[in-house]
Amino acid sequence: MILKKTRRSLMIVMTKDTMQIVREQDVVPFRNRVRELSTKIGMSLVNQTKLITAASELVRNMLKYANGGKVMLETVSKNAQSGIRLIFMDQGPGITNVQQAMQDGFSTGKSLGLGLPGAKRLVNEFDINSIPGEGTTVTIIHWKHGR
Amino acid sequence: MNKIAQLLQNNKKQILESWMQNQLADASLRDDLISNEELRRQSDELISGLARATSSGNMDNIYTPEYEPVVEILSDISITRARQGFSPRETGMYVLSLKQAISTVLEEKYSEQPEVLYKELITTHKLLDNLSMVTFDTFIKGREEVILRQTDEINEISTPVIRVWEGILALPIIGTLDSARTQIVMENLLEEIVNTGSSIAILDISGVPAVDSLVAQHLIKTVSATRLMGAECIISGIRAEIAQTIVHLGIDLSNIKTKASLASALQLAFSMRSVEVRKINKNTGFSLTR
């Protein structure tokens, strides 16, 4: 992906959709929805799998630590390239130390501790914003021809 | 005591008659499913329950102890009617037609006092609407129970352990691997290892749509448990895109034997058991050397 730092281009949101995630049973329909969207924009199978896996990690985190939340699914376009943007919003306890949470192998639950850092490696753009006591918002973007 | 409760107690017979008439006149009455006596008995029970509940003065909250018998009767009716083959609409209409009956009696009694009539009608309608919702709730709950039972059944039948060769088990996993499913997979597999005395188990994940860190963690746990039983585990069916994803996620599967296809996993299992499968001349017939 070529990032032009000199001229900021506008990102256009083509479609918008929201999904509520409250139970573990919501994970599979959500993943299918992401798959549907990424197939629609013609994403390759490898990129699809990467995006779905990252989305799956984040949605599981949301369920485990914040008892659910909502996800905004968007098809975006920038520099004539289309992609999928997913925004995960929860009102959970938040992450006190984001830097620590982004390290491989760190987990406050009994998991592998690869969810957040792994998801970051899987997608093109990753942004996390957490306020302890208020909630966490994670935004990921994966482009159609992402690496 | 409020007006409705009084009305229900004093004019019970009249209301019941009017209600029964409404029901019997209704074209959608399913007299093929329920007898008139049964219908009358149910209706009578419901009105008596309602009279007792309303005498407390509570007219809007049906989730209180005094309404418990009414809700119970309704749930009971809803369930038995669902079993008898009624649609939820028909059960809902049954309760709603009581509204008509009470309204008629109210109208007769308070025709001189429109203000009172209006107020009483509103409260009655509100109450009966709430109660008709109970029948829908129960109906849906019943359905959900069926779905839950089916989910359990699917989980159980979708994890077969296949004995592919002497000492070699295969376990094709199809669908998402969550904690509950892993538990079933692990139990079935370990049990079968003991039963058959197998030393190699092949876990095929071709049918698992996405492998995230939780699924990987479940797989690792299953492999560790198998090893504790003295058997070796091979994971097969790792597709190209899944392999790339696992690497990016940073999951370490290096000390687990993995293969791309079930065929190559089987081959590895054969070589581990010192079994050889090869082509032979037609005239000598099929043979397998150990």
**Residue A122 at interface with chain B, using a CB cutoff of 8 Å:** yes
Q: Over range A102-118, report the average pLDDT.
A: 85
Catalogue the E-assigned strands of chain A: 12-21, 69-78, 81-90, 125-131, 135-143
Collect all residues of chain B within an 8 Å Cβ-Cβ radius of residue A56.
Answer: 210, 212, 214
**Residue B178 at interface with chain A, using a CB cutoff of 8 Å:** yes
Low pLDDT (below 70) residues in chain B: 1, 27-31, 283-290
Separation CA B211–CA A114 (nearest Å): 13
Integer-rounded Cα radius of gyration of chain A: 15
B210 closest CB neighbour out of A24, A49, A121? A49
From residue B277, alpha-carbon distances to B121, B268, B273 in Å are 84, 11, 12
Q: What is the pLDDT of residue B284?
A: 61
CB interface of B with A, residues 207-226, below 8 Å: 209-214, 216-217
**Tell me: the pLDDT tens digits for A60-96?**
999 989 998 999 999 999 888 899 999 999 998 989 8
Rounded to two decimals, what is the model's pTM? Answer: 0.67
Separation CA A136–CA A123 (nearest Å): 18
**Between 3.30.565.10, 3.40.228.10, 3.20.20.70, 3.40.1280.10, what CATH number should domain A13-143 receive?**
3.30.565.10
| Closest among B46, B38, B39 to B8, alpha carbons compared | B46
Which residue from B minimizes the CA distance to A58?
Answer: B212
Separation CA B168–CA B164 (nearest Å): 6
Q: Over range A11-25, report the average pLDDT.
A: 89
pLDDT of A137 over the 90 cut: yes
Contact A114 B241 (CB under 8 A): no
Average pLDDT of chain B to the nearest whole number: 84
Give the rounded percent of residues in chain A with a pLDDT score beyond 90: 54
Q: What is the pLDDT of residue B204?
A: 93
Q: Over range A9-18, report the average pLDDT.
A: 86
Contact A50 B248 (CB under 8 A): yes
Average pLDDT of chain A to the nearest whole number: 88
**Residue A102 at interface with chain B, using a CB cutoff of 8 Å:** no
A111 closest CB neighbour out of B213, B241, B242? B213
Collect all residues of chain A within an 8 Å Cβ-Cβ radius of residue B250.
Answer: 104, 114, 117-118, 121
**Residue A2 at interface with chain B, using a CB cutoff of 8 Å:** no
Higher pLDDT, B289 or A133: A133
Q: What is the pLDDT of residue B266?
A: 93
Coil/strand/helix, residue B200: strand
Domains and CATH numbers, chain B: 3-152 (1.10.490), 162-284 (3.30.750.24)
Contact B217 A56 (CB under 8 A): no
Task: Give every strand in the sheet of A125-131, ordered side by side.
Answer: A12-21, A69-78, A81-90, A135-143, A125-131
Q: Are β-strands A135-143 and A81-90 bridged in parallel, bridged antiparallel, or unpaired?
A: antiparallel
